Amino acid sequence: MIISVIGQGYVGLPIALSAASSGFDVKGIDNDQNKVANLNSGVTSIEDVDPRVISELISSGKYVATSDYSVVKKSAIVLICVPTPLDLDHKPDLSYLISAAKSAGKYLSRGSLVILESTVAPGTTRNIIVKILKQESGLEGSDFSVAYSPERIDPSSKEWNVKNTPKLVAGLDTEATKQAVDFYSNFIDNVVACASVEVAETAKLLENSFRLINISFVNELSIFCSKLDMDVNEVIDAASTKPYGFMPFYPSIGVGGHCIPVDPIYLSEKSSEVGTPIQIIDVAFKVNKSMPKYFVGKAEEKIGSLKNKKIIVIGVAYKPNIADVRETPVELLIMELMKKGAQVS
């Protein structure tokens, strides 16, 4: 069976390679010509992917990267794994997703299954993506199937990967759900069918909003503990002895990466749109945005004025041992230090 995976980044490439390793004939589509050329040479900048796996799958004919969307025409399944970031106004940006859906729709064949993996607000798959696919393909909604399955990728994790991370799936109808479950079950251990596409869309947003809110709370708690000359980590360790009803979160300079600073905005915007704003998300963002300034203040407490002081910042990625600096709070820390006149390396 031929499948196309649109987007060969940190989500699309691991899925494409997993599907190819399980026997599917995979076409990895990406608009970045340099990335396509590198992939076809067995080269990738994604740290969790072994270049040898890419080379082996290319040699076996099970995987090829391309910028040509016409491969969708012969694909039984089309996965859309493109970024859904925030724009300059910190609002949801669906431009990559809409572009990918339009490009795929032009070549969509009758009987195909389209699965969206990009993070979106509830209702996006049903009300936006299906409409685009119908318009571009000229097909009726009953001529193809659509499902949603949110990505769950933990970069650099030694414990969780595509195979052992439970996969949520929901189709627009029972047949689409069955098709999607059957597909993912070829290379994922635990595939969980949700009651509706909207449930799956919202579950993804809940997962990362939960983390944002709890990290925000423990960051404020750390400031409180510091004021009382307590070690917040000792407090967390003590609370963690409770065997039920508690999950430890740890303080930091803020949140970063492709999920925690982004996904909750999609939930917050949708909740405001329908008249039920989730206010705690907005508060959590304000707390985390204030953390870099707090640490600049701590530096001033220790060494006085920062003007012309030489300061080195060690670690700029949003989590340890990765090269990804998307949404890293360290960027704001560096900017705040420079505003104070520090010479930052």
In order of 186, 253, 312, 343, the CA distances from 302 in angstroms are 56, 17, 15, 17
For 107, phi then psi, to 5°, come to -115, 10
For 15, phi then psi, to 5°, come to -65, -45
The two structure tokens encoding residue 317: 């990625």
CB distance 190 to 48 below 8 Å: no
pLDDT in the model for residue 324: 83
More confident residue, 164 or 158: 164
Longest dimension (CA), the chain: 69
Residue 318 has pLDDT above 90, yes or no: no
Q: Are strands 63-66 and 145-148 parallel, antiparallel or unpaired?
A: unpaired
Residue 45 pLDDT level (bands cut at 50, 70, 90):
confident
Residue 234 pLDDT level (bands cut at 50, 70, 90):
very high
CB distance 311 to 330 below 8 Å: no
CB distance 291 to 220 below 8 Å: no
Residue 213 has pLDDT above 90, yes or no: yes
Chain segment 55-87, per-residue pLDDT in tens = 999 999 999 999 999 999 999 999 999 999 999
Residue 319 pLDDT level (bands cut at 50, 70, 90):
confident
Chain segment 187-199, per-residue pLDDT in tens = 999 999 999 999 9
Give the fold, CATH level 3, of 203-344.
Rossmann fold (3.40.50)
Region of 156 (left: φ > 0; alpha: ψ -120 to 50; beta: rest) is left
Give the fold, CATH level 3, of 2-194.
Rossmann fold (3.40.50)
34-46 CB burial, b ≥16 within 10 A, e <16: ebbebbbebebeb
Domains of the chain by residue range: 2-194, 203-344
Active-site option among 81, 194, 225, 259 = 259
In order of 49, 53, 95, 334, the CA distances from 157 in angstroms are 12, 18, 29, 27
Distance CA 117, CA 94 (A): 13
CB distance 176 to 148 below 8 Å: no
Residue 161 pLDDT level (bands cut at 50, 70, 90):
very high
For 344, phi then psi, to 5°, come to -100, 130
Task: Average the pLDDT over 267-292 and give the result.
Answer: 95
The CA-CA-CA angle for residues 173, 178, 184, to 5°, reads 125
**Same topology between domain 2-194 and domain 203-344:** yes
Distance CA 84, CA 75 (A): 24
The average confidence (pLDDT) of the chain is 95
Active site annotation includes 194? no
